[in-house]
Amino acid sequence: MKVVAYSIKPFEKEFLSKANQKKHEITLISNPLSAETTFYAEGKDAVVVFTNDDVSAGVIEKLANLGIKYIATRSAGTDHIDKEAAGNHGIKVANVPHYSPEAIAEHAVALAFALNRNLILANDHSHHFNFTNNGLMGFNFSGKTVGIIGLGNTGLATAAIFKGMGCKVIGYDLDFPENNNIAEDVTLPYLYANSDIISLHLPLNEGTKHIINEFTLAQMKDGVMLINTSRGALIKTTDVIQAIYAGKIGYLGLDVYEFEKGLFFEEHKKGTIEDPLLKELMQFDHVLITPHQAYLTREALQGIADQTIKNLDLWQQNKCVGKACACAKNCQAPAHAAS
């Protein structure tokens, strides 16, 4: 299969090469997919994309006109892809439904640790030979209540780490996992009201967008710690900023940002970013922002590459991609579909 992979970072190449074993003719480019870069897909069967690529209806139409039949995203989330438009053009879509949930979970907990123990401030002080302990007091995680919203593989992995630290773990999920001995099943209002730490592990869709907003924030404890390693738009940024000013949020750890598209994954010179909300967030001492790097472990990258190539393999065999199939309803699987 002839493929062009967009938004490829240098550190991804070895993992894709190892997974591919020269089975597919893949062109790796650093350019993001956009209306202006669709021409790279000419003569290809499939495109491989990432979360910040533009896979909107207009771009999909251009890809369809170039003969593209498949779109594979190197991510679990598919909210950046207009799946209805893909279905209308007969383009099949696949994602990476599972890849090292521990990578995301460990990063979520790392954000919580760094915030609680003021590690960034302590490191900065030490690098300036200030070895006082002023302003560095934290709290014990043991005995605290942690609320996990979304108990898929990543949410459960996060819950297990917190439970291992002696936390009481409560959770909410529309499809709460059966035979689960890690998190207690509770309602969202109960979780908001009783959690000292809340960690989000949800896909972004119409039902979850801005799940953290003025109304839900008001139900939380004063000084709550909020962690988001899933999708930026789960949080309404303007409401969260007001909650920080009011003391409702005492700690905020973000690996994703509501308006990260065009910002994250790229280097920007100081003073060139025109995003007043992001700049305001960065003024707070107890806000820690990382650049959408929770997935960035060797194990996770190899898992992503392996599943991406597997999706291409199955399409080439005229088979469905099983649980990785992210097609719209009107984008049907081939007749001889794999289970």
Give catalytic residues, as residue numbers.
231, 260, 292
Phi–psi pair at 65, nearest 5 degrees? -65, -25
Integer Cα distance of 220 and 218 in angstroms: 6
Structure tokens at 2: 């002839």
- Other beta carbons within 10 Å of 262: 13
SS3 291: coil
What DSSP string describes 192-254? HHH-SEEEE----STTTTT-BSHHHHHTSPTTEEEEE-S-GGGB-HHHHHHHHHHTSEEEEEE
Closest CA to 155 of 227, 75, 262: 227
Residue corresponding to tokens 């979360």: 51
Other CB atoms within 10 A of residue 145 CB: 17
- Give the whole-angstrom CA distance, residue 182 versus residue 236: 29
Whole-number Cα distances in Å, 174 to 177, 187, 190, 205, 232: 9, 10, 15, 14, 20
289, containing H or E segment: strand 287-289
User: Following CA atoms 110, 113, 119, 121 in sequence, which dihedral angle do they give, to the nearest 10 degrees?
Assistant: 110
Question: Which structure tokens are listed for 11?
Answer: 């550190």
